[in-house]
């Protein structure tokens, strides 16, 4: 990764696999994976002030107000492990968040690359309703496509898998609606900055991952 550090944004609707892909890319590139969804769920579990404020929004599939997420992101990005680059998953999710991120990283010799993972609505709904997540290490499984080998336990760390509270039909529909309305405009935002590449997310996990790595190599060599 020459010419400054990389801010890799993995953008996609809920269920597109951004979490899975961001985790894999972070491991391959040896840079941190920063998921605002994970940060918020942790705040919820620990019953922090942020968690208490975010809870109602998350449970109904709405976005948490920008200013609540901004503080956590700003704090995270100044940590030492972000010095070589980082992968953002679930952030930015609105145009004001993208502007905030840009202002945070101004004068820091950071290159933005936004990879958009596109998947049709029907596939997204199917994936989300059969998704199981490890609450301990964050690994994601799918009861139909990618089941855990050890039944209800995580293959990686052995913790009991759980279904996210917002993976119910009603909340899924709202999250998709919010994505199309508030988050999709980011595609144009990054296209205008010549930082956007779209890939097809309706393929096996490894193939999607190869596409992402291909895009990063193409943009950074
Ligand atoms: P998904 O992409 O599967 O919807 P995430 O784990 O990224 O899930 O986010 C879960 C929830 O956390 C969102 O529905 C939203 O309420 C909240 N959230 C996560 N990231 C943000 C963000 N950048 N801005 C506002 N709310 C967020």
Question: Which mean pLDDT values do the consecutive 10-residue runs of the chain (221 residues) have?
Answer: 82 95 96 96 95 96 96 96 96 98 93 97 92 89 89 94 90 95 98 97 96 90 65
d(CA 19, CA 46): 21
Question: Is the CB of residue 64 below 6 angstroms from any atom belonging to ligand 1?
Answer: yes
Question: Is the CB of residue 58 below 6 angstroms from any atom belonging to ligand 1?
Answer: yes
Task: Give the SS3 label for residue 110.
Answer: strand
Length of the chain counted residue by residue = 221
Question: Is the CB of residue 175 below 6 angstroms from any atom belonging to ligand 1?
Answer: yes
Q: Are 9 and 115 in contact (CB under 8 A)?
A: yes
pLDDT of residue 1: 45
Q: Model's pTM, two decimal places?
A: 0.89
Q: Which residues pair with 112 in a beta bridge?
A: 7
Q: What's the gap in Å between 2 CA and the centre of ligand 1?
A: 31
Question: Is the CB of residue 138 below 6 angstroms from any atom belonging to ligand 1?
Answer: no
Residue nearest to atom 18 of ligand 1 (CA): 37
If one residue of 34, 36, 41 were mutated to test the ligand 1 pocket, choosing by the most ligand atoms within 8 A of its CB, it would be 36
If one residue of 34, 40, 44 were mutated to test the ligand 1 pocket, choosing by the most ligand atoms within 8 A of its CB, it would be 40
pLDDT of residue 57: 96
pLDDT of residue 164: 86
pLDDT of residue 221: 65
pLDDT of residue 74: 97
1 CB-near residues (< 8 Å, 6+ apart)? 29, 84, 85, 220
If one residue of 37, 54, 57, 58 were mutated to test the ligand 1 pocket, choosing by the most ligand atoms within 8 A of its CB, it would be 37
Q: Which residues pair with 34 in a beta bridge?
A: 88
d(CA 145, CA 79): 36
Q: What's the gap in Å between 160 CA and the centre of ligand 1?
A: 23
């Amino acid at each position: 990764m020459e010419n400054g550090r990389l801010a890799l944004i993995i953008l996609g609707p809920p269920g597109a696999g951004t979490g899975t892909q961001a985790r894999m890319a972070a491991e391959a590139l040896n840079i941190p994976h920063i998921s605002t969804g994970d940060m918020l769920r942790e705040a919820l579990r620990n019953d922090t002030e942020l968690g208490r404020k975010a809870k109602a929004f998350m449970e109904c599939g709405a976005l948490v107000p920008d200013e609540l997420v901004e503080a956590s992101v700003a704090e995270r990005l100044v940590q030492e492990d972000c010095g070589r680059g980082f992968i953002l998953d679930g952030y930015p999710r609105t145009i004001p968040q993208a502007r905030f991120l840009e202002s945070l990283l101004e004068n820091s010799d950071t290159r933005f690359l936004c990879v958009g993972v596109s998947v049709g609505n029907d596939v997204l709904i199917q994936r989300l309703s059969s998704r199981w997540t490890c609450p301990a290490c964050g690994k994601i499984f799918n009861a139909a496509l990618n089941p855990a080998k050890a039944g209800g336990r995580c293959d990686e760390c052995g913790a009991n898998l759980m279904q996210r509270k917002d993976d119910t039909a009603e909340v899924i529909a709202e999250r998709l609606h919010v994505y199309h309305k508030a988050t999709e405009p980011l595609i144009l935002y990054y296209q205008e900055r010549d930082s956007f590449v779209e890939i097809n997310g309706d393929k096996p996990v490894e193939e999607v991952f190869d596409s992402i790595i291909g895009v990063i190599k193409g943009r950074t060599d």
